């Protein structure tokens, strides 16, 4: 069991690093595009090149990734391109609302699950058959259609 858990944890960590690397390389593949996004569409080319240099966007992508990942491990998520504020600050501001939505969703789901479970307890009735049919369609339907 310990070997299984260790393998799963290592596989999860490898997956996190791979997904982070792919996402990072897709976003940071063109440093001048990011600098133009930060400065705005009317910025002249010299300012864009200078800003890209200041941000280290002219470094090789692998170097940029390891700098970013090192900062990530220290809790520095960088600055937002859209509002120029620290990303961690934006996340902290959004967490209470997100937790409220998750909590409310779980509460409503739990209430419905208990009611459906109680109704399904009466085996062989029309309610049980209807709910079973509904469950089969629910499981057979792809998740992206239910979202």
Please indicate, yes or no, whether residues 43 and 101 belong to a single structural domain of this protein.
Answer: no
The pTM score is 0.60
For residue 86, the SS3 value is strand
Q: How far are the Cα atoms of 16, 30, 83, 112, 123 from residue 48, in angstroms, in the given order?
A: 32, 12, 18, 54, 69
Burial class (CB in 10 A: 0-12, 13-18, 19+), 24: middle
Whether 38 and 95 share a structural domain: no
Tell me the per-residue pLDDT of 24-70, one tens digit each, with 9 for 90 and over: 888 888 878 888 878 888 888 888 888 888 888 888 888 989 998 89
Last residue of a domain, one of 47, 76, 105: 76
What total of structural domains would you count in the chain? 2
For residues 71 and 124, membership in a common domain is answered with no
The predicted-structure confidence for 89-100, as pLDDT tens digits, reads as follows 999 999 999 999
Residue 82 in domain = no
pLDDT of 92: 93
Q: Report whether 75 contacts 92 (CB < 8 A).
A: no
- Residue 45's domain comprises 1-76
């Amino acid at each position: 069991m310990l070997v299984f858990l260790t393998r799963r944890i290592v596989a999860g960590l490898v997956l996190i690093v791979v997904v982070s690397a792919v996402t990072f390389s897709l976003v940071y593949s063109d440093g001048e595009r990011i600098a133009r996004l930060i400065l705005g569409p009317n910025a002249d080319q010299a300012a864009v090149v200078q800003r890209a240099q200041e941000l280290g966007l002219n470094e090789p992508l692998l170097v940029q990734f390891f700098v970013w990942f090192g900062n990530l491990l220290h809790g520095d998520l960088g600055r937002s391109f859209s509002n120029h504020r620290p990303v961690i600050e934006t996340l902290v501001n959004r967490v209470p609302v997100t937790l409220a939505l998750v909590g409310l969703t779980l509460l409503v789901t739990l209430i419905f699950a208990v009611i459906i479970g109680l109704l399904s307890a009466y085996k062989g009735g029309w309610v049980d058959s209807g709910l079973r049919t509904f469950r089969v369609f629910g499981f057979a339907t792809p998740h992206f259609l239910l979202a």
